[in-house]
Amino acid sequence: MEDKVLLVKDFRKVYGDFVAVSGISFEVPRGEIFGLLGPNGAGKTSTLECLEGLRQPDGGTLDILGVNPAREPHKLRNLIGVQLQSSGLPPTMTAREAMRFFCAYHGVAPRDDLLERLGLQGKQDAQFQSLSTGQQRRLALALAVAHKPPVIFLDEPTAGLDVGSRAELHTLMQELRDEGLTILLATHDMAEAEKMTDRVAILLKGKIVATGSPTELTATGTGFTKVSVRTERAVLMDNHTAFPAVSQWVVREEYVIYWSTDPGPTVAAILAHLSAQDDRLIDLRVERPSLEERFLELTTG
């Protein structure tokens, strides 16, 4: 498998007559954060659960560092760490007990340092049910990485978190990636996927409809770049001059927004026009389409 940590090939999962996943394939190399995106029912959870050994696949190959999750669960458990969406801890278990409990089953020493690193100092003896959502998520992540697995599965890790907790978790994920861990991230949060992942696969009705880095995916969409311009005298509002490479334009509040297939000549022409009209530029924004826009384009047709 060379440096491939995770291999999914022609993977299928069916429930009765319903095909949840229909022959998907992807590979994840060491040290990559790979995003699994898709609307509800796309097959993300089925894929994750089969990779985690919670369900049996109905076809294809699943391989994590040479281990088949369905046939070798005893080998799998020390290779993966899983932060489940519902954090999966008994309500009366304290953070310290949880750390000792899970580390004991993995045969490693408890990592109380992780609790402190994840901002749970002073909460070691608090019961799980008394922790805030953010603290519960951080504890779940601490437990997922405590036995130093090479692969981590994160299912909606920042759902329900405030901005600060979300940023902290993102920083930790980046640190883990920098330490060489491979992360499979399932999320609905496109901004998170765009910021955190090296590559993503977009699932729709059990099939991968797009795969690549967020930049590659956004570049392969409609190909339009958004150019937003605000000027002092607003001469562009009444301008009917066709700027090069512009397919359409609209006025939104004090901005004129152009969709351009080649933003360089478009911006140059706009600036030349403003100069000729003796208008002064206040704000100019050139934006690639976001991953969310590309995702909606793919999933809604």
Partner 1 sequence: MTAFLHHFAYEFKTGLRNPSLLMINYLFPLGFFVMMGFVMTAINPLFQASMVPAMVIFAIVAATVLGMPGPLVEAREAGIFRSYKINGVPALSILAIPGLTTGFHALITAAIITLTAPLFFGAHAPVNVGALVGITLLTAFTCAALGMLISVISANSRATILWSQLIFLPSMLIGGLMMPLDVLPEAVRPFSALLPTSHAMQLFTGWAYNEPVIFNLPVSALVLALSGILALALSIYLFNWDTRNQIRRGHPLMALLALAPYVASMFLK
| Among the listed residues 25, 68, 124, 127, the single contact to partner 1 using CB under 8 A | 127
CB of 210 to partner 1, least distance (A): 28
In whole angstroms, give the CA distance from residue 164 to residue 158: 11
Strand order in the sheet with 18-29: 18-29, 4-15, 59-64
In whole angstroms, give the CA distance from residue 158 to residue 144: 15
Structure tokens at 61: 């190959």
Structure tokens at 149: 């697995």
Strands 182-187 and 33-37: parallel
Closer CB to partner 1, residue 53 or residue 221?
53
Task: Indicate whether 82 belongs to the interface with partner 1 (CB under 8 A).
Answer: yes
| Among the listed residues 36, 62, 84, 267, the single contact to partner 1 using CB under 8 A | 84
Helix (H, G, I), strand (E, B) or coil at 151: strand
Closer CB to partner 1, residue 9 or residue 15?
15
Task: Indicate whether 100 belongs to the interface with partner 1 (CB under 8 A).
Answer: yes
Structure tokens at 71: 């046939």
Task: Indicate whether 93 belongs to the interface with partner 1 (CB under 8 A).
Answer: yes
Pick the stretch among 3-11, 76-84, 209-217, 223-231 that binds partner 1 (CB under 8 A): 76-84
In whole angstroms, give the CA distance from residue 256 to residue 266: 13
User: What single-letter amino acid sits at 229?
Assistant: V
In whole angstroms, give the CA distance from residue 136 to residue 88: 10
111 and 139 Cβ atoms separated by less than 8 Å: no
| Among the listed residues 44, 77, 138, 199, the single contact to partner 1 using CB under 8 A | 77
For helices 133-145 and 163-178, what crossing angle results, to 10°?
10
Pick the stretch among 57-65, 104-112, 262-270, 290-298 that binds partner 1 (CB under 8 A): 104-112
Structure tokens at 198: 């090296």
CB of 54 to partner 1, least distance (A): 6
CB of 162 to partner 1, least distance (A): 24
Closer CB to partner 1, residue 5 or residue 245?
5
Site for partner 1 in 26-65 (CB under 8 A): 52-56
Helix (H, G, I), strand (E, B) or coil at 211: strand
Task: Indicate whether 186 belongs to the interface with partner 1 (CB under 8 A).
Answer: no
48 and 186 Cβ atoms separated by less than 8 Å: yes
| Among the listed residues 58, 63, 72, 97, the single contact to partner 1 using CB under 8 A | 97
Task: Indicate whether 72 belongs to the interface with partner 1 (CB under 8 A).
Answer: no
Task: Indicate whether 104 belongs to the interface with partner 1 (CB under 8 A).
Answer: yes
In whole angstroms, give the CA distance from residue 253 to residue 229: 11
In whole angstroms, give the CA distance from residue 68 to residue 227: 49
| Among the listed residues 19, 101, 211, 298, the single contact to partner 1 using CB under 8 A | 101
Binders of partner 1: how many residues, by CB under 8 A?
29
Closer CB to partner 1, residue 34 or residue 102?
102
CB of 93 to partner 1, least distance (A): 6
* Contacting positions for partner 1 (CB under 8 A): 52-56, 73-74, 77-78, 80, 82, 84, 86-90, 92-93, 97, 100-102, 104-107, 127, 143
